[in-house]
A and B are shown apart, each in its own frame.
Chain A
Amino acid sequence: MNTILIVAEHRDGKLNPATAKCVSCARVIGGAIRVLVLADRTGAIASEAARLDGVDKVLTVERAENAHALAAVLAPQVAAAARDCTHLLAPSTTFGKDLLPRVAALLGVAQVSDIMAVDGAHAFQRPIYAGNAVLHVEAPADAVVIGSVRVASWPAAATAAQTAPIEALALAVELPTHTRFIELRQGKNDRPDLQSARRVVSGGRGVGSAEHFAIIFKLADRLGAAVGASRAAVDAGYVPSDMQVGQTGKIIAPELYVAIGISGAIQHLTGIKDAGTIVAINKDAEAPIFEVADFGLVGDLFKIVPELEQALG
C-alpha cells in the first residue's frame, strides 16, 4: 500500500489552506496519508492538520531551527522522514517550490512539478509552457514519488469528524547554519494578494497612463479585487512589474477576472487561462481577448469602467 507524506505549509501558527489541497491530491493517489509538520511550535498547526478529512496521522518535528521555512534547514529533515514513504507531496507554492527539489536531490530522485491530475500512483499530468500544453508523465515505480501539487487544480479537503493521531518524530539530522532568516516584509496595502485573490481587475496599454490607472484601482476596490496589469502596461511604465499577469509575470486563477484595455497577447492569455470567468472590456472588437472572454463588452473603457463601478455600488 502507498504511504503518502505531505509537508505542511504554515505561518504564524496556522496551517496554510494549500496543505488541505495536497490531501485531496493524495486521496486520489490512494494510500495512508500522513502530514509532516516542521515548526518551532507544532501544537496548533498539528491539531489543524489532524482534522483534515483523509489524514491518517500527523507527524511533528519541533525544533527551534524550524521557526522559519528555510529550504536548506527543512530539506534534510523531510528527506529523512520520507525514506519509508512511497510518495512525498507539498503544495506548489513558493514554500513547496523552494523546498521540494532540494529534498528530491538529497534523495537522488526526480520531481513531478505542479501535479494537476493523477492517472495512477505513478502517472500524473502537469502543465508545461505556462499551461499551453499538458504533459503526461510516469515516475519510476522503484523510487519515492516526489510531487508538488498545483494548488489551483485541487479542492481543499474538508474538515473531518474525527481527529487523526499526532506523533512526535525524532530525526537525528544535522542542520546547516549557512542560511539565515532576516525578515519577512508583508505588503501593507489592503488589497488582496494578486496570486491568491478570488477577483482580479487588470489594466492594459489601453488605460493610457499611470494616472489613468486610478480608475482600475477604483473598480478593483469596489469589487474587493486585486489589481493586475498586462506586460504592455508594465513596459509602458504605468504600474510596477510585480503587477504583471502573464507567462513571464504571475499565472493566476481567480474566480472572476476583468481585463480592461488589454488586447490579449498570448503571453497574457497564458497567465489567465485558469480563471473562472473572464470579462473583457476593450474598444477594439477584434481584440484577441474576446476569444477567451466569457463576457465581452466593446466600447470606451473611460465611459464603461466608471459606469460599472457605479452599477456595483
Chain B
Amino acid sequence: MKILVGYKRVVDYNVRIQVKPDGSGVVTEGVKQSANPFDEIALEEALRLREKGLAADVIVVGIGPADLTPHLRNGLAMGANRAIHVVSAGAVQPLTAARVLLKLVEREQPGLVILGKQAIDDDNNQTGQMLAALWGRPQATFASRVEVSGDVARVTREVDAGLEVLEIDLPAVITTDLRLNEPRFIKLPDIMKAKSKPIETIELAALGVESGDYLRATATAPPPRRQKGVMVKDVPELVAALKAKGLL
C-alpha cells in the first residue's frame, strides 16, 4: 500500500505574526518557516504504518513555489520514500489543493491519504474533506488513533462530544489531530540520506486542474487588541475584583 501525505510549509508556530501596514497580508519575508505541525503528525503516522509493514511507500506532497525543495527534503529526512513537488507561484486555496491531490491520487492509487486537519496559517480545515468528496471515498477527520487491518481502518476521532470511533473502507482520507502521535526528530544521518531520495517536480498547470482564487481576500487586519489590565497585590483584592465583574 502507498500512503500519500500532504506536507505544507507554513510560518513557524512560534513566530509572532505581523500584519502588513497596508493590509495586504501578513509578513512572511525573512520569517522562520517550517512544516505545518499537523502535517508532521500525518507523516509520522504514515511512517509508523510503514514500519508496521502495513505500507510500502510513503510519498510527501507539497504545493508551492520553487524554493519548497529544502522543506520537502525535511520530509524525506524524516523518512518519506519520495516527494512530489507541485510547483505553484502562490498559495492555493483548499478546493484547488484538493483537486491537485485528486490528480495525484488517480496516478499513485494510494490506499490512504493522510493530511493535517488544518494548516496553521490559513486555518481553513477543508482540504482533506474536499479531497474525500471529490474522490468519492470515506473521510475520518481529527484522528487521534488509526488502526489499519486489511482493507479497512478503524479511526478514533476527536469530536466535541468525546471520542468517536469510525470504521472506514480503504482507500480513504484521514486528517490528523494533535493527539495522534509525537513526530520523531530528524537525525543528521537521515538528512544525508535524504539527499539521494527523489523529488518529482510537476507544474500545477500541467496537471490540468481547474484552479483559482474562489475567495477574494480584500484585506488583512490585526485582531482586536486586548486592553492591558491591572496588577492586584493579593488574593483578597483579586477575589474582590472578580466579584465586581460578576465573575464569582
Contacts and interface: CB of A to CB of B under 8 A. Distances in A.
Interface residues of B, number: 80
B187 interface: no
A308 B215 contact: no
Interface of B is mostly: mixed
A246 to B, nearest CB: 9
Contact of A184 (B93, B137, B164): B164
B129 A102 contact: yes
A312 B236 CA distance: 10
A9 B186 CA distance: 42
A114 B123 contact: yes
Contacts of B126: 101, 104, 111, 113
Given A72-B139, A94-B158, A180-B167, A133 B221 contact: yes
Contact of A248 (B13, B154, B162): B13
A130 B15 CA distance: 12
Contact of B14 (A178, A267, A294, A295): A267
A51 B178 CA distance: 38
Contacts of B234: 297
A182 B166 contact: yes
B56 interface: no
Contacts of B242: 256, 277, 279, 295
Interface stretch (B45-53, B66-74, B224-232): B224-232
Contact of B168 (A179, A273, A277, A296): A179
B166 A180 contact: yes
A208 to B, nearest CB: 20
B130 interface: yes
A129 B132 CA distance: 25
Given A71-B139, A133-B223, A248-B37, A101 B17 contact: no
A267 B229 CA distance: 20
Contacts of A97: 125, 129, 141-142
Nearest to A91: B160
Contact of A137 (B133, B164, B218): B218
A137 B216 contact: yes
A105 B95 contact: yes
Contacts of B230: 294-296
A134 B123 contact: no
Interface of A is mostly: mixed
Interface of B: 11, 13-17, 19, 26, 37, 93-95, 98, 120-134, 136-142, 154, 157-169, 172, 178-179, 214-223, 226-236, 238-239, 241-242, 245, 247-248
Interface of A: 11, 70-72, 75, 93-95, 97-106, 108-114, 123, 127-140, 143, 176, 178-187, 193, 195-196, 240-242, 244, 247-249, 255-256, 265-267, 273, 276-279, 290-298, 304, 307-308, 311-312
Contact of A123 (B94, B158, B218, B221): B218
Contacts of B178: 241-242, 244, 248-249
7 contacts: A95-B159, A97-B142, A104-B133, A129-B120, A179-B139, A265-B14, A296-B231
Closest 6 pairs (CB-CB, A-B): A110-B214, A101-B129, A105-B133, A294-B229, A105-B130, A101-B126
Contacts of A184: 159, 161-165
Contacts of A279: 238, 242
A108 to B, nearest CB: 8
B168 A113 contact: no
B247 A277 contact: yes
A178 B132 CA distance: 12
B235 A139 contact: no
Given A94-B142, A108-B95, 15 more contacts: A98-B141, A101-B127, A105-B95, A105-B129, A111-B126, A132-B223, A136-B218, A176-B138, A178-B138, A179-B166, A184-B163, A186-B163, A193-B160, A277-B242, A278-B229
B164 to A, nearest CB: 5
A129 B165 contact: no
A129 B11 contact: yes
B215 A139 contact: yes
Nearest to A244: B178
A94 B121 contact: no
Contacts of A94: 141-142, 157-160
B228 to A, nearest CB: 7
Contacts of B165: 181-185
A294 B247 CA distance: 12
Of residues B94, B98, B160, which shows the largest number of chain A Cβ atoms within 10 Å of its Cβ?
Answer: B160
A147 B143 CA distance: 23
B217 A137 contact: yes
Nearest to B126: A101
B132 A182 contact: no
Contacts of B219: 135-136
B186 to A, nearest CB: 18
A112 B215 contact: yes
A140 B214 contact: yes
A182 B95 contact: no
